[in-house]
Amino acid sequence: MDAEALGVPAESLPEATDDEEIEVFKVWDINMPVVRLFLGCETQWRVVARGMDGILHYIGIDYAAASALLEARPRSEQRKHLAWQMFQDLRLMEQAAIPILNGASQ
């Protein structure tokens, strides 16, 4: 889904510089609800500080918070995308993100 379809004005998008590339990718419409759920959980990660240097280690998403986000979805989306399936999809995304997040923090 492109930025315009999401209502993001083109002038607010970052521009690539010579030393920076911006990666753009398409998210299939069927996957957008769980992508929005995953992004909504961005402040709901459980982390612990490891070692004396305090490097953060990501454990996983707080499922109680994710459940609250699932319940807060519009009714039309709740009918279309079942909560149990979205939760399973969220867990798959979480499992893929944990090694990336922990590698990035070291």
Element (H, E) at 59: strand 55-61
pLDDT tens, position by position, 32-45: 999 999 999 999 99
Residue 7 in domain? no
Count of structural domains within the chain? 1
Domain assignment present for residue 76? The answer is: yes
What's the pTM?
0.71
Taken in order 9, 10, 16, 22, is the CA torsion positive or negative? positive
Domain hosting 59: range is 28-104
The residue with greater pLDDT, 52 or 21, is 52
